[in-house]
Amino acid sequence: MAPGHRHRGTAPRANSLSRVAHLQRPLTDYTRSNFHITNSGMVNPALLDHVLTVTTADRVIFSTDYPFQQPTRDEITAFLGHFASEEDRRTFSSANAAALFGLDV
C-alpha cells in the first residue's frame, strides 16, 4: 500500500467523525490538504513512518529545533535514506517549504 494510505485504524475512526459532522469529504482529506508537518529536527525513522501513515511526503517539511535538536549531517543523510525515492527526499528537504512560502529555489 502506498505511503499516506496506511492508517493502522486511525483513519476509519477519524472518518466516522466526518459522517457525524456532515462534512463533504472524509476528515483525513481535510488533514492531507490543509496541514504541513515538520520533523522539528528529529531524525527518527519510526516517526517518519508514523507521519507517512496519515499524510504523504508532499506535506512533510524538514525543519530544525535549534538548540534543542541538533542532528549531525550524517544523521540527516541517514534519515533521508528512509524516504521511498529521491523525489520524496528532495520534496521533504526543500521543495515543500519553497512551495508553501512561495520561494524560487
Q: Where are the domains of the chain?
A: 10-101
Could you give the residue ranges of the DSSP H alpha helices within the chain? 10-20, 27-34, 45-51, 73-80, 86-90, 96-101
Alpha-carbon distance of 43 to 89, in angstroms, equals 13
Higher pLDDT: 5 or 21? It is 21
pTM of the entire predicted model: 0.75
Between 16 and 2, residue with greater pLDDT: 16
pLDDT at 3 over 50: no
Q: Give the pLDDT band (50/70/90) at residue 91.
A: very high
- Please report the pLDDT score of residue 5 as a whole number: 45
Per-residue pLDDT tens over the stretch 24-83: 998 888 888 899 999 999 999 999 998 988 888 999 999 999 999 899 999 999 999 999
